[in-house]
Amino acid sequence: MSNDQAKQGKADKSRRGFLKAATAGTAAATLGAVTLDSKDANAANFDAEYDVVVCGGGGAGLPAALFSRWLGNKVAVYEKAATLGGTSFKAAYWYWVPNNAAMQKAGIPDSKEHFLKYVARLTQPQYFDPNHPRYGLSEWEYSMCEAIYDSSWIGTELLSEKGALPYRHVAPVPDYFAEMETIGATGRVLFPKDGAPSMSDGGQVATRTLSTACRRDGVTVRTSHRVQKVILNDKGEVIGVEVKNDDGVMRVKARKAVIFATGGFTHDPELRKNFLSIPVYGGCAAMTNEGDFVRISSTLGVQLRNMNYAWMCPISFEKAIAKDPSMIGCFSVAGDSMVFVDKTGKRVVNEKLHYNELAQKFFEWDGANAQFPYLILTSIWDQRAQDNSASHEYGRLIVPPGSDDRHVIKGATLEELAANIDARLQKYAGQNGAMRISADYVQNLKATIKRFNEFAKNGKDLDFHRGERGVDLLFNGNVKEEPNRKNPTMWPLSDQGPYYAAFVTGGTLDTKGGPKTNPEGQVLDIEDKPIPGLYGVGNCVASASGRAYWAGGGTLGPIIGFAYRAANAAHKEPVRS
Amino acid sequence: MTLRTIAAGVLVAALCAAAPLRAADDLAAAKQLVIRQCSQCHTFEKGEKHGQGPNLFGLIGREAAAVNGFVFSDGMKEAVKGKVWDTALLDQWLTDTLSVAPKAQMIYFQDDEKVRAKLLRYLESLE
């Protein structure tokens, strides 16, 4: 037998269905790339063949698959989890679309210049210059942000016209910094049409409509299939992927392109520790978001960008430690008669600051004492807040009776509550740096509440300005109606128990770093040249937003634009045989 | 008793013993699959807290969309009103949840009969 024949025999074995992996589904996958020489790269060596292969069936992958399919391509989606939707399934699924068609129809002006100044100011506050041709953004950042403005609304309209994601325009929702220097806007937020009035369940609705459209329009969808390697030909072009499922490993040919949409690295502690600038305990991303594309692309000479930042949100410390897959970020910190205090019983932050910015507070460094003094704060509320502000929505810590309240600590008096908080802290000694409450905690807590109650009575938070910005009110959640109240985010805490508490820390919705792409979603090599046939969209690739969270839906709106552009560019790729 | 009948007896005993062993192996494999595919949202032990989806202990024979402490969507409640989970309904559900409840929160479809059989094997054992 010649060498060639031997090689062919080996290849035949692999194409006959699946390579039986004895430990399929249990052992850690080997992620990376494999290069086939020209003989092995022929069609006979693949188990399935498509024009475009999309890796990941979430908020980026499903739109990318649909856009590709609607251009006439044969398309498959391989999703690692058993269900579709990824992180976006758990999201409220607001999507932020500048100059969207609803704004255009309603005559709400939203110029490109206006948009670019806003994102530049928030993305690079230290370099922002309204007179600079790119307002202080780098060329790459500027071109990516232009792409968002140019394409998100077009992709959004197409998804809506095809019935894959009909939306309603939520005109009154402001950008998170709408009031800023006249460059913010109102009217950019869209929401899945059949979602609840409270706008919390858009992810379920969108996953349903997008996945239904995929199946209706002939996209092959495979769940519980993890893409673990890209396959290159001897010219360095990406021609397929290696996919693992419960039965083993198979090879899938991509005649035109592979589009990665596999999410960030929230659930890979090693990547988190080595890339994020902050010690997060975890986050709300789908549990399958383990940085697969960072590892797979590492062998391809890509440029990792924006690895240090994440889309941030306060989260329940205890749920994060328990790796509770159902955990949702505290987008809306519930309660008016409620405060956050540190381990000394003192308030340190405006509790109603919107989520991405509130989450930064937990990572403030105390240099003199070499510690993160606010890494875990405690939310404390009274019976009134419990009765009027409990909710299942938006990851609130105040939950209705009968629901999972293992994260809630109770006490008949403040003294009892403090003792129970301290006891609960000790359960986590190995995870919280042996944190304890201070000796003067109860005394401080009483003084804190007394001062807060004065602020609440007068409607003015002299320490942290709670409730002064429109966005504070947007996320206030349910509170008891009080006629003539000046500031609905505050009400005095009762001097009578019972009292309730929960630990809060900062977490990731998901990370926002990964390989750098161009505005067409093409993954770039170290010389800034596209790796032929390789695309990336969503949280698995580098976001040009730096640390910024521009607005509600600032993740998903841009993603739809990039999915649209990637699908169009992939469609034009030469067919690789 | 001849040597042959003793041998046959041993063989029969071995076969009898092997059957439950195989069943236990199947169940363990089925459990592993269910944990891998479903535990993002569901819990399975008696008395365990609900996750994003309800606890599934005692699912078979239970009224659909009616579990203490879990809030089902209106879409789910309307679609399965009056139904009880049995093998046929559960199999249909796992084949395509949206074919049972077009507005269900759970979006899962599994066209591989063998995989569904494994999932059913474990879910039916939870009683």
Tell me the ipTM for this assembly: 0.80
**Which of residues A306 and A183 earns the better pLDDT score?**
A306
Answer for the pair A54, A197: CB distance below 8 angstroms, yes or no: no
How many of the other CB atoms lie within 10 Å of CB of A12?
A: 11
Report CB contact under 8 Å: B37, A82.
Answer: yes
**Chain A residue at shortest CA distance from B40:** A325
Residue type, A135: Y
CA B91 to chain centroid: 9
Whether A208 sits inside 8 A of B98 (CB atoms) is yes
How far is the alpha carbon of B16 from chain A, nearest alpha carbon, in Å?
28
pLDDT at residue A77 in the model: 98
Arithmetic mean of pLDDT, A327-344? 96
Please indicate if any CB of chain B lies within 8 Å of the CB of A344: no
Kindly state whether residue A217 falls inside one of the protein's structural domains: no
Contact call for A326 and B108, based on CB within 8 A: no
3-state secondary structure of A160: helix
A443: containing domain = 314-508
Checking if the pLDDT of B31 tops 50, the result is yes
What is the pLDDT, as a whole number, of residue B9? 54
Distance CA A59, CA A538 (A): 8
Contacts of A324 in chain B (CB under 8 A): 51
Whether A440 is in a domain gets the answer yes
The answer as to whether A183 is a domain residue is: no
A345 vs B14, more confident: A345
A154-163 pLDDT per residue, tens: 999 999 999 9
More confident residue, A3 or A118: A118
Confidence of residue A181 (pLDDT cuts 50, 70, 90): low
Place of tokens 């956050």: A340
Percent of chain A with pLDDT over 70: 94
Q: How far is B100 from chain A (nearest CA, A)?
A: 13
Distance, in Å, from the CA atom of A6 to the CA atom of A12, rounded to the nearest integer, reads 10
Q: Which residues of B touch A (CB under 8 A)?
A: 32-33, 36-41, 49-52, 68-69, 71, 73, 98, 103-110, 115
**Region A252-273 average pLDDT:** 97
Q: Is the pLDDT of residue B47 over 60?
A: yes
Distance in angstroms (rounded) separating the CA atoms of residues A15 and A29: 20
CATH of the domain at A384: 3.90.700.10
Mean pLDDT of chain A: 93
Q: Is the pLDDT of residue B17 over 60?
A: no
Asked if the C-beta of A81 comes within 8 angstroms of chain B's C-beta atoms, the answer is: yes
Query: How close, in Å, is residue B9 to chain A by CA atoms?
Result: 35
**Does CATH place domain B26-124 in 1.10.760.10?**
yes
Identify which of A82, A287, A324 has the shortest CB distance to residue B108. A82
What DSSP element (H or E) covers A558? Answer: helix A556-571
CB contact set of A269 (below 8 Å; sequence gap of 6+): none
Residue A38: the pLDDT is: 75
* Minimum-distance CB partner of B71 among A221, A325, A392: A392
Radius of gyration of chain A (CA): 25
Which of A479-488, B10-19, B38-47 is least confident?
A: B10-19
Q: Do B98 and A212 touch (CB under 8 A)?
A: yes
Are residues B49 and A406, on separate chains, in Cβ contact within 8 Å?
Answer: yes
Cα gap A392→B70, rounded to integer Å: 10
Strand segments, DSSP code E, in A374-415 are: 377-382, 409-411
The reply to whether residue A25 touches residue B36, judged by beta carbons under 8 angstroms, is: yes
* B58-82: pLDDT as tens digits: 999 999 999 888 889 888 999 999 9
With respect to residue A134, please indicate whether it lies within any of the assigned structural domains.
Answer: no
Q: What is the pLDDT of residue A9?
A: 42
pLDDT digits (tens, 9 = 90+) for A73-125: 999 999 999 999 999 999 999 999 999 999 999 999 999 999 999 999 999 99
A540 lies in some domain: no
For A313, the enclosing helix (H) or strand (E) is strand A310-316
Contact B50 A208 (CB under 8 A): no
Q: How many CB pairs under 8 A join A and B?
A: 60
For CA atoms A514, A518, A524, A528, the dihedral sign is negative
Question: How far away is chain B from the Cα of A451, in angstroms, using its nearest Cα?
Answer: 38
Best of A83, A215, A288 to mutate (most B CBs within 10 Å, chain B): A83
* Closest CB to B33 among A89, A208, A246: A246
Minimal Cα distance from A319: which residue of B? B51
Q: Is A267 within the bounds of a domain?
A: no
* For A85, nearest residue in chain B (alpha carbons): B107
Query: Which of A448, A334, A315, A307 minimizes the C-alpha distance to A375?
Result: A315
Residues 87-106, chain A, touching B (beta carbon < 8 A) = 89-90
How far apart are alpha carbons A51 and A293 in whole angstroms? 20
Bridge partner list, A220: A76
Q: How confident is the model at residue B57 (pLDDT cuts 50, 70, 90)?
A: very high
B40 closest CB neighbour out of A194, A287, A404: A287
What is the Cα A432 distance to its own chain's centre? 25
Based on its alpha-carbon atoms, the radius of gyration of chain B, rounded to whole angstroms, reads 19
**Domain-embedded: residue A289:** no
Within 144-203 of A, beta carbons closer than 8 Å to B belong to 194, 201
Q: Give the up-direction half-sphere exposure of residue A254: CA atoms within 13 A in the CB hemisphere.
A: 35
Q: Which residue of B has its CA nearest to A210?
A: B107
What pLDDT score does B69 carry? 84
**Residues A7-62 pLDDT 10s:** 444 443 444 343 333 333 334 568 988 888 877 777 678 999 999 999 999 999 99
- All residues of chain B having their beta carbon less than 8 Å from the beta carbon of residue A84 are 107
- Nearest CB neighbour to B37, from listed A201, A224, A324: A224
pLDDT at residue A554 tops 80: yes
Average pLDDT over residues A378-403: 94
Residue A342 lies in a domain: yes
Distance from CA of B112 to the nearest CA of A (A): 11
Give residue-wise pLDDT tens across range A477-527.
Answer: 999 999 999 999 999 999 999 999 999 999 999 999 999 999 999 999 999
- Indicate the residue of A25, A82, A201 with minimum beta-carbon distance to B38: A82
Give the gap in angstroms from C-alpha B109 to the nearest C-alpha of chain A: 8
CA distance B82 to A437: 52
- Asked if A359 contacts A506 with a C-beta cutoff of 8 angstroms, the reply is yes
Q: How many Å lie between the alpha carbon of A320 and the closest alpha carbon of chain B?
A: 14
Confidence of residue B21 (pLDDT cuts 50, 70, 90): low
pLDDT for the residue numbered A39: 74
Termini Cα distance of chain A: 27
- Chain B residues lying within 8 Å of A89, measured CB to CB: 107
Which residues on chain B are in Cβ contact (under 8 Å) with A392?
71
Closest-CA residue in chain B for A81? Answer: B37
Cα gap A241→A253, rounded to integer Å = 7
- The answer to whether the CB of A215 falls within 8 A of the CB of A221 is yes
pLDDT (mean) for A367-387: 97
Return residues 396-435 of A near B (CB < 8 Å). 402-404, 406
> Distance between CA atoms of A546 and A310, rounded to whole angstroms?
9
pLDDT at B2 over 80: no
Residue A403 has pLDDT above 90, yes or no: no
For A195, which residue in chain B has the nearest alpha carbon?
B103
pTM: 0.91
pLDDT grade, residue A183 (50/70/90)?
A: low
Domain count for chain A: 1
Mean pLDDT for the stretch of residues A276-293 = 96
Q: Which residue of A has its CA nearest to B112?
A: A222
CA distance B118 to chain A (A): 12
User: Could you state, in order of their start, the residue ranges of all structural domains in chain B?
Assistant: 26-124
Give the nearest chain B residue to A82 (CA atoms).
B37
